[in-house]
């Protein structure tokens, strides 16, 4: 049993590390193409690949989408999260953007109380207040440099939180592969619409042009790495349990910091590190409180 749990932890660690590898690849495209176009291409490629796998493994019946309204919400949430994060890494250090997105667990807990009627526990409120204090610490130097764009990671965190809420509604209504395909396919459609609208908005950053072939290749690499990462995280969860692997998500921040340092010469200052530590501490506190509650509930 312990060996299986350890294997699960290594799967999850590898998955979260691979996610940050993909984020680093996205940052290499800064200034080469619009972030919306990169997000759109990444999800179109991902949806096509997942669609082929779904057809081969489950047949055409698997394409009948259960709970279409909730699936639409999931697709929209992913589209918002991706645009927010891809835009953020274009204007701020990778580690900084990653740190702010770790407010997602606290946002998810708050949304669960508002939308699902789950009790608003004291631990949730404490963790949320502490996490947002950490966000303010991280944002303080970055807000002066990039302005309102510094809030883009919060948009990404909110999108991921809405996705988590949507996932709870559709849990058990299809295979993991099918659920991945539905969200990728619907996100692709919404990203096509968003990319088109922002292209004609007149904002230079979102103007779309014919990119160099290497940009498309890197988008494909990000799509493949993300799919592999989600599979690794899923395998880790099945072997060790969601509660056990949850803290492994912070591997993303370590890897993002390393890539930012080595590839982009982004050396995080003391304020950024302090704010990141506060956010991570809040997340670990919330995770620990949840585990204690679960253990108490089984006694």
Query: Quick one: pLDDT at residue 46?
Result: 93
Query: Quick one: pLDDT at residue 52?
Result: 95
Cα distances (angstroms) measured from residue 46 to each of 53, 75, 270, 276, 281: 11, 13, 37, 30, 33
102: left (phi over 0), alpha (psi -120 to 50) or beta: alpha
Query: Quick one: pLDDT at residue 209?
Result: 93
Cβ(168)–Cβ(93) under 8 Å? no
Question: Among candidates 197, 227, 256, 209, which has minimal Cα distance to 43?
Answer: 227
Query: Quick one: pLDDT at residue 114?
Result: 77
Alpha carbons 260 and 157: distance in angstroms, whole number = 20
Query: Quick one: pLDDT at residue 40?
Result: 96
Dmax (CA) for the chain in angstroms is 61
Query: Quick one: pLDDT at residue 92?
Result: 83
What is the pTM assigned to this prediction? 0.83
Divide the 299 residues of the chain into consecutive groups of 10 and give the mean pLDDT of each group. Answer: 70 85 93 95 95 94 91 93 92 84 77 73 74 75 66 87 83 85 95 95 91 95 89 76 65 82 80 79 72 54
């Amino acid at each position: 049993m312990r060996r299986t749990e350890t294997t699960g932890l290594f799967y999850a660690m590898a998955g979260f590390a691979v996610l940050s590898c993909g984020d680093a690849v996205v940052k290499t495209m800064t200034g080469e193409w619009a972030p919306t176009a990169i997000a759109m291409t990444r999800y179109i490629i991902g949806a096509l690949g997942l669609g082929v796998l779904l057809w081969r493994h489950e047949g055409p019946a698997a394409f009948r989408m259960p709970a279409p309204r909730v699936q639409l919400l999931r697709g929209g949430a992913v589209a918002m999260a991706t645009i927010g994060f891809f835009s953020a890494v274009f204007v701020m250090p990778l580690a900084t953007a990653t740190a702010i997105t770790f407010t997602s667990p606290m946002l998810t807990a708050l949304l669960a109380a508002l939308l699902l009627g789950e009790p608003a526990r004291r631990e949730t409120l404490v963790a949320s207040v502490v996490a947002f204090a950490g966000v303010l610490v991280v944002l303080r130097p970055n807000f002066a440099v990039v302005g309102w764009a510094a809030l883009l990671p919060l948009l990404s965190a909110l999108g991921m939180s809405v996705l988590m809420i949507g996932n709870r509604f559709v849990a058990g209504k299809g295979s993991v592969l099918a659920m991945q395909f539905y969200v990728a396919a619907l996100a692709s459609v919404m990203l096509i619409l968003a990319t088109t609208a922002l292209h004609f908005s007149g904002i230079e950053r979102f103007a779309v042009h014919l990119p160099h072939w290497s940009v498309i290749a890197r988008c494909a690499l990000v799509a493949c790495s993300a799919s592999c990462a989600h599979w690794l995280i899923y395998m880790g969860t099945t072997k060790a349990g969601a509660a056990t692997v949850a803290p492994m998500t912070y591997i993303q921040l370590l890897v993002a910091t390393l890539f930012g340092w080595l590839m982009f010469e982004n050396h995080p200052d003391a304020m950024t590190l302090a704010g990141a530590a506060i956010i991570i501490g809040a997340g670990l506190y919330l995770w620990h409180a949840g585990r204690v509650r679960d253990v108490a509930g089984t006694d």
